Structure 1
Amino acid sequence: MTAVSLKTAVMLMDESRGSSIPGVNLPAGNEPMEGLSEEPGDDLSGGQKEVLERCLHALTHAKNDSQTLAALLLITRVCPASQLDQVTLRRVFEAVGLNLPARLLVTAIRGDSGSGLPAQELLSLGTALLAALSTDPEMAQHPQMLSTLPMLLGLLSDGPTWTPQKQRTPQTSQQEESGVSAGRCNGTHSDVPQSQPSPSEGAGEESGSQTSPNSAVKLNEALASDCYQVLEAVSVVLGGQERLLTRGAVPALCRAIEQSQTLCSQRGRPLLGLLLSRLGQQAWERHSAQLRGVLEGLSREFCQAKEQQRLELCSELLQFLPPQEGVLESGELRRLVGELWAAVRPLVQSKMSPTQLGPVLVLSACLLDLCGWDCVGPPRFCCLLVNRACVEVRMGLEEPPGTDMTPDLQHCLTACYRIMEAAMEQACNQGPDDSTTQPQTSFAGLSLQQSKQVLGVLEEAFSAIIYYLQQRVDQSLHGNPFVFVTFRCLCAWLAEETSCLKEQVTSLLPFLIGYSRDHLQGGGDLRDLSNWMADMSIAPGSSKDKWTGEHALRYLLPALCHLTAEEEPRKALLSLDTLSLLIGFLSKGWERLQKQEGKAQKRDPALETACSALLNITITEPERVRKDPSFSDLQKLLNEALPLLLHKPRLLVLAANFCTLGLMMGRMKAPPSDLTDPGERRFFSAALRFQLSALSSAQGSLPGPVVAAWEEGWEEVGELWRLSVQALGACFRSRPALTALVREQSWLTNTLAALRTRSARADAPTLEALQEALCALAQMCPACRDEIREELKKGQASCLKDMSQLRRTVSQ
């Protein structure tokens, strides 16, 4: 709505009522004043400027509403709005203010007859003034403009007969009336009664949910257009969408759509879609019932539409899907998604151009996010969907360098990436594992030939991704959001599959490490990446993590865990100084955990994955452990962190990683003859206590000698614990002075006591690890050997009697 609507509304009032406004004597008719031109686009003549200045003076010095309206009418007759510059329009806006249109609406809604004008005309004039004022961004976010939103929303949802249902107290009414009058620019009295419905943030929400007995009455199109203009203007200013949400815009727009109110399809549905695309999670949590009704209606429209209409509805429909976190019952959501898939399948199966196919694939990706493959369809269709996504990726990424990629194509490829990731996730979840709560899906019924076909097209698509990143992306594009989602998709594949395309992946490692390091360092054009990612999300309304420079490395870490276990990729990674990258990430993560002291510290799996990658390097590259200064930095970190982690049960897995990593490093480094370094002594002391804390002095329920506190995480921590015990045995041999610390902390005594009380047979891997450590201790420490020998002689050590190697060692 432009200021032309302001002119039209005022002149319409004059046509129907003449000069019946109290105190106003206006010339009849709509002819412009003599000698003044109204041709749009003409510059103002000298005469027009002179008259306009007089009108503006009259408007600024108006003593009541009647004089204000008369001055407005004269201005519209002097020249059309298209001939007024922004400065002049601003002067008009400042003179009129927001209080006048607000009181016009209040008068119309209350049905007061003191103005001498019909309610419909008051509504038309009030909304037209608000619409014109809202074209100025400062006015659009003014508190008085925001106070009118519940009224405008009520009009749009229930028509011109809407009235507020909320019962107001006298105190509330007085506050609301004073709030309206405070916006009067000239500060003079008014001929319109100063009272209004509650502008509180809850009023609009309530109005949108109440049933009006006259809901069939609809606004005329001009009035509805003015109301939507105000809402749209508010939605584009900073924080405007949040203000609309808190003032009940979602239920009001839902009701307008349900009632088929004026312009609800052309203006209401797009506005609601915009709010959901930005604030979907909050909106669904507050108004799931109303939004479910809109989604049901839009889904029916989509399913019943012809193919071309469905293509047009794809982009709109995905805005109304609920967030991934789920606010609908599982059965209800699956039914709805299943119906949508039934309508989407013919689109995927038909021949269409890439431009037409793009929105279909984006909608398909969103549906996959909601319910996985369970509702997609038969295996043959699942293969087709994956195939079409992979073909689009190849076609989009294998263009020669220098080819521009349109935003629509980027959006389509982002959706294709999600379909590919979902296919990989499904492939990894295949198998007879009955422990999962998810039922076996249709995708699980692929034949061997179909599985090979799917893996083949996925491999071709990821080959195209590698080509794109290697050939078309340089450092200047590291801040490009589409490059980030492409990087993320490749990392998801590398986390599961490293046996394919080995040479191509190894040759791409300089880019992957350089990209991750560049993001960690941050700055420059990387700062806007988070906002773009929110806009490009294929899961509308889903919650978005706050952007940090660590995201890229976090996605890459699972792949690094695999790649560091293989000879050629590991050598390439070490040549790229990946060690310092991993250790720096670990150090920052530990600093972040320390700042959470006193709070419920949350486990960070990425830190554990980084430890796994470092552990691979430690085991396979002993010479580097001895000589590379990066490992000295890592040891200092472990020396500081492990003693503190002993008292943090939520971080048990991280403690196991730190303990194992430190002991594996300790067995390789050439130490002094004794533990003179305080940091190292603290670490080994903490490592001994950590290992001992897993042993139980009472009968446990697990096959291994583990205390109840460890039972829940033993499946995940157990292997690390065993490896740390074996590493401790190696440390006994390389650091003889460590045996004194063992005796000082009674590690041997407590370990033997725990084994003595186990009447049931412990699991073999645990016994082997303990036996290896005990044998090493017996060989390096005569006093320890004697203590073990005495324990074996007692004959009641049920677990020790199975350690034949230990018996041979102490008998020598």
Structure 2
Amino acid sequence: MADGAEVALAVITQPPVIEEQEGGDGGGGSVRDAGGGLTDAQMEVLERCLHALRQAQNDSHTLAALLLITRLCPASKLDKPTLRRIFEAVGLNLPARLLVTAVKGNDNSGLPPQELLSLGTALLAALSTDPDMACHPQLLTTIPLLLGILANGPVTWGKPETQDQRQGGGVGPSSGGKVQSEEGSDTEEGQSSKQNADDGSDANRPSASLEGSPSSKLDEAVASDCYQVLTAVCALSRGPDQLLSRGAITALCQAVEHNQTFSRERGLALLGLLLSGKTKDKVWSKNPAELLTLLVRLSKDFCQATGQTQLDMCAQLAHFLPPVGVSVGSEELKGAVVRVWGALRPILQAKLTPRQIGPILVLGACLLDLCGWEPVGPPKFCCLLVNRACVEVRMGLEEPPGNELSPELQHTLTGCYRIMEAAIEQACCVGVSPTTEPPQSSIPSISLQQSRQILGVLEEAFSALMYHLQQVDPSRYGDPFIFATFRSLCSWLAEETSCLKEEVTGLLPFLVDYSRSHLQGESPEQGLSDWMTEVSPREEGGAWTGREALRYLLPALCHLSAEEGPRKVLLTLDTPALLVDFLSRCWTALKGKSGVASTRDPSMETACSALLNFTVTEPERVRKDRCFRTLEALLSEALPVLVHKPRLLVLAANYCTLGLMIGRLKAAPAGSVEAGQKRLFSAALRFLRSALDSGSSPGPVKVSPGWEESWDEAAELWRLCLQALGGCVRAQPWVATLVREEGWLKHTLATLSQCSALPDQHTQQALEEALCAMADQCPVCKKEIGDVMRTDEGALTRMRNLKKSVGVK
């Protein structure tokens, strides 16, 4: 039985050794002679063995059939369908039962627990190579057992004396359960060496002992098979969730903590897979303590490592940092980050090859995303970090057109972009105003001269980005690296559009076309969706919508649409229509959410600001361009809804402003007023009158409670709305009638008569301008305003221009 268990593994796990042992046996010659196929005689034996496997009455019969297969049909000669037939005949019941028996330590099994465990894990490892079997429910039920083995070692195996017998003074063939040649243990040692080479492991790595356990040394073959199963499951579409729901994080962290076999090589690699992509946030939120302990340990190991080992650990360590936005709130985390930066400083100051510096800069980018500039170190080193990132970008992107960038270089440059993005705000804000507080993420104690140096190297690097993007063909719009480059440039343009103005203006056709292509679904999306999930640290995840590219460009468009030269280029590119399309798609997505999910979207407000720039500066374009008619229809649908959503008050203020600014440019209708127009103005009037609250007692008027929180952002828009309302009354006299019907005039006059003053002079001027327009265009309005002013001593009496309009002294 024991011999059968040992040899049965050969068909599953170690075909090369079988080839060397079998030579010309098996009736079909060696593998080399047979050319990788089975002879007729071998096929006949195989069919009989498969029949025996299917008809086996007990495990001994099953193992005997497997033994025959290994002797006569080397595994390397079996194609995938044949292997699958063997696996299906063996089934998942056998390896699962072997595991349970081994873990429970049943003395009546006929085999030592260690051999049962070795056989069971080897069969499962082989079965897991087929994705259909890797996702089989029976195989998934063995995951907790496998994780327990990896975490705790052979803590349930036999009695101490039996354990000593099996160990035989070290890790050898009797403890491994792998194929053992009849000549002795040389084959086992060779296989162990091969396994070590495949796994990149160190056979002499010490193992931590567990209290109460006779020996916590886990056999390398068993450990390797366990990790093979778990890794195969992890590769499935729902694999990570299957592992997480069965306690993989706790078990793997424990395996690393106890320094179990292969835990540092394959255990950390598997943890890295679980801590990447969509599952990272969920894993950290559910296992913060264990993952933080693991990170602290790895950070200490990183600081103690030297040379190439330390450089190799950079890429590994980046996987184990918590995601941006997940609050760990621990001094331990801060201490770990400070330690890692302390170890990185001398490395970055040394001479490094491009291959060496890449993982260091990527790790630095991850640390910056997580904790900002404060723990990085002195300002001089911060400047060095930015400089090295910018140099790498210039070297990588300033290549002749047509040169392909390797995936490794693209990964490095993406990390450099994030360092540059972290430096942009710092470089642009220092020295603007001595009284301005530096941003929280700013470089501590940086001087104005150092800030200017950073701004200089950033300008050179972003010039390289623009050069690279100029060469991009539309066929590459779906490339995640192009999106990363585009996004980084947009972060620069959001803060700085005065530098490199000609280059920026020249690149506008690409920037707009790239954004339009993604918005309208003309480019592939899957690669970008994966990148947003797995690479981009600042994103909140979720499916790719196509709106992301334009979101990043919007702040730059807001700045550039206010400047005459770039604005003319933007108009030739039909940018207003692009912005209207964006708003329409965003509104469709927003109104489909529940009330709780109706959160503020700043990008919609920025798009409104850019459209407002076009509306103010290009009145003829607004009158003729059909996209502005589409925009009016959107505003008339959305504003009545937004009026009742306090969390979206700033967006409502933007929509109201846009609607009234467009309305002032229109001529009075020849016939009846369109229903959409009337609905838009009615909603605007209701919205405007809700801003001020006179209260029950005399004194200055107050901002209403619903507006108070957003007043700093909405006040200027509210005043602009009032000025535009006056323009609408002058252009379209019917609006004055609506002002009275909606009660805006009555409410405003009552508020002003009850208060002694308005919040500020600008608010008074805006209200006065609107009231003057109504008095000038509508005799009924003029009479109502005059009657109140003659009998009231409130804030109305301070409006001198209004007094002239209504004839009150």
Alignment partner of 1:581 out of 574, 578, 582? 578
Query: Does structure 2 retain, via aligned residues, the 8 Å contact 1:608–1:653?
Result: yes
Find the counterpart in structure 1 of residue 796 from structure 2: 800
Query: Does structure 2 retain, via aligned residues, the 8 Å contact 1:700–1:708?
Result: no
| Higher mean C-alpha displacement, 425-434 vs 400-409 | 425-434
1:658 matched to 2:652:
no
- Inter-CA distance 701–382: structure 2 relative to 1 (3 Å threshold): farther
- Inter-CA distance 102–789: structure 2 relative to 1 (3 Å threshold): same
Alignment partner of 2:688 out of 688, 691, 704? 691
> What letter corresponds to residue 158 of structure 1 in structure 2?
N
Alignment partner of 2:89 out of 75, 82, 95? 95
- Inter-CA distance 674–727: structure 2 relative to 1 (3 Å threshold): farther
Shift of 1:607: 1.3
Listed one character per residue, the Cα deviations across residues 292-320 of structure 1 (whole Å, up to 9, x for unaligned) are 22211111110011132211110011111
Distance 1:11 1:695 in 2: 83
Query: Does structure 2 retain, via aligned residues, the 8 Å contact 1:154–1:162?
Result: no
Distance 2:325 2:698 in 1: 36
1:783 matched to 2:780:
yes
> What letter corresponds to residue 658 of structure 1 in structure 2?
Y
- Inter-CA distance 393–690: structure 2 relative to 1 (3 Å threshold): same
> What letter corresponds to residue 63 of structure 1 in structure 2?
Q
Find the counterpart in structure 2 of residue 501 from structure 1: 500
Shift of 1:590: 2.0
Find the counterpart in structure 2 of residue 338 from structure 1: 338
> What letter corresponds to residue 244 of structure 1 in structure 2?
L
Shift of 1:323: 1.1
- Inter-CA distance 284–434: structure 2 relative to 1 (3 Å threshold): farther
Query: Does structure 1 retain, via aligned residues, the 8 Å contact 2:427–2:452?
Result: no
Find the counterpart in structure 2 of residue 206 from structure 1: none
**Which residues of 2 match residues 610-629 of structure 1 at below 5 A?**
610-629=607-626
- Inter-CA distance 417–31: structure 2 relative to 1 (3 Å threshold): closer
Q: Secondary structure at the match of 1:445?
A: coil
> What letter corresponds to residue 382 of structure 2 in structure 1?
C
Find the counterpart in structure 2 of residue 128 from structure 1: 122
Distance 1:589 1:6 in 2: 63
Query: Does structure 1 retain, via aligned residues, the 8 Å contact 2:494–2:556?
Result: yes
Alignment partner of 1:594 out of 591, 594, 602? 591
1:112 matched to 2:109:
no
> What letter corresponds to residue 804 of structure 1 in structure 2?
R
Distance 1:354 1:46 in 2: 56
Distance 1:440 1:627 in 2: 46
| Higher mean C-alpha displacement, 502-511 vs 776-785 | 776-785
Distance 1:84 1:11 in 2: 9
Shift of 1:761: 5.0
Distance 2:739 2:710 in 1: 26
Find the counterpart in structure 2 of residue 150 from structure 1: 144
Instruction: Name the structure, 1 or 2, with higher relative contact order (CA <8 Å, separation 6+).
Output: 1
Distance 1:215 1:496 in 2: 64
Distance 1:140 1:433 in 2: 63
| Higher mean C-alpha displacement, 428-437 vs 150-159 | 428-437
1:82 matched to 2:76:
yes
Find the counterpart in structure 2 of residue 228 from structure 1: 227
Listed one character per residue, the Cα deviations across residues 241-285 of structure 1 (whole Å, up to 9, x for unaligned) are 211111111111111111111111121111111111232212212
Query: Does structure 1 retain, via aligned residues, the 8 Å contact 2:104–2:156?
Result: no
Residue identity over aligned pairs, in percent, reads 57
| Higher mean C-alpha displacement, 328-337 vs 672-681 | 672-681
Find the counterpart in structure 1 of residue 381 from structure 2: 381
> What letter corresponds to residue 218 of structure 2 in structure 1?
L
Distance 1:151 1:764 in 2: 74
1:563 matched to 2:560:
yes
Find the counterpart in structure 2 of residue 194 from structure 1: none
Considering only aligned residues, what root-mean-square deviation do their CA atoms show, in Å? 2.7
Distance 2:403 2:26 in 1: 60
Shift of 1:554: 1.0
TM-score, normalization by structure 1: 0.87
Query: Does structure 1 retain, via aligned residues, the 8 Å contact 2:427–2:455?
Result: no
- Inter-CA distance 794–223: structure 2 relative to 1 (3 Å threshold): same
**Which residues of 2 match residues 263-274 of structure 1 at below 5 A?**
263-274=262-273
- Inter-CA distance 213–701: structure 2 relative to 1 (3 Å threshold): farther
Q: Secondary structure at the match of 2:110?
A: coil
> What letter corresponds to residue 650 of structure 1 in structure 2?
R
- Inter-CA distance 115–574: structure 2 relative to 1 (3 Å threshold): same
Query: Does structure 1 retain, via aligned residues, the 8 Å contact 2:636–2:677?
Result: yes
- Inter-CA distance 51–450: structure 2 relative to 1 (3 Å threshold): same
1:676 matched to 2:673:
yes
Distance 1:212 1:248 in 2: 22
- Inter-CA distance 553–703: structure 2 relative to 1 (3 Å threshold): farther
- Inter-CA distance 701–358: structure 2 relative to 1 (3 Å threshold): farther
**Which residues of 2 match residues 38-437 of structure 1 at below 5 A?**
39=31, 42=34, 43-162=37-156, 213-214=212-213, 216-278=215-277, 279-427=279-427, 430=430
Query: Does structure 2 retain, via aligned residues, the 8 Å contact 1:519–1:550?
Result: yes
Query: Does structure 1 retain, via aligned residues, the 8 Å contact 2:386–2:423?
Result: yes
Find the counterpart in structure 2 of residue 480 from structure 1: 479
Query: Does structure 1 retain, via aligned residues, the 8 Å contact 2:477–2:523?
Result: no
Shift of 1:367: 0.1
Q: Secondary structure at the match of 1:684?
A: helix
Listed one character per residue, the Cα deviations across residues 78-111 of structure 1 (whole Å, up to 9, x for unaligned) are 1321122222211211110010011111111112
> What letter corresponds to residue 450 of structure 2 in structure 1?
Q
Shift of 1:783: 2.8
Distance 2:434 2:646 in 1: 29
Alignment partner of 2:768 out of 753, 757, 771? 771
Listed one character per residue, the Cα deviations across residues 529-560 of structure 1 (whole Å, up to 9, x for unaligned) are 21244343457xx7523211111111111111
Shift of 1:230: 1.1
Shift of 1:645: 2.1
Listed one character per residue, the Cα deviations across residues 430-470 of structure 1 (whole Å, up to 9, x for unaligned) are 588999897575x1422222111110111111111111111
Shift of 1:810: 2.4
Distance 2:33 2:287 in 1: 46
Query: Does structure 2 retain, via aligned residues, the 8 Å contact 1:386–1:454?
Result: yes
> What letter corresponds to residue 446 of structure 2 in structure 1?
L
Distance 2:531 2:120 in 1: 38
> What letter corresponds to residue 737 of structure 1 in structure 2?
W
Distance 1:131 1:532 in 2: 31
Shift of 1:234: 1.3
> What letter corresponds to residue 223 of structure 2 in structure 1?
A
Q: Secondary structure at the match of 2:607?
A: helix
1:469 matched to 2:469:
yes
Structure 1 runs not aligned, ≥5 long = 13-28, 164-210
Distance 1:592 1:89 in 2: 50
Corresponding residue pairs, total: 743
Query: Does structure 2 retain, via aligned residues, the 8 Å contact 1:478–1:526?
Result: no
Query: Does structure 1 retain, via aligned residues, the 8 Å contact 2:700–2:755?
Result: no
Q: Secondary structure at the match of 2:578?
A: helix
Query: Does structure 1 retain, via aligned residues, the 8 Å contact 2:23–2:29?
Result: no
| Higher mean C-alpha displacement, 51-60 vs 73-82 | 51-60
Distance 2:543 2:699 in 1: 41
Q: Secondary structure at the match of 1:116?
A: coil
Query: Does structure 2 retain, via aligned residues, the 8 Å contact 1:158–1:215?
Result: no
- Inter-CA distance 6–233: structure 2 relative to 1 (3 Å threshold): farther
Q: Secondary structure at the match of 1:113?
A: coil
Find the counterpart in structure 2 of residue 204 from structure 1: none
Distance 2:9 2:452 in 1: 68
TM-score, normalization by structure 2: 0.87
Shift of 1:520: 1.3
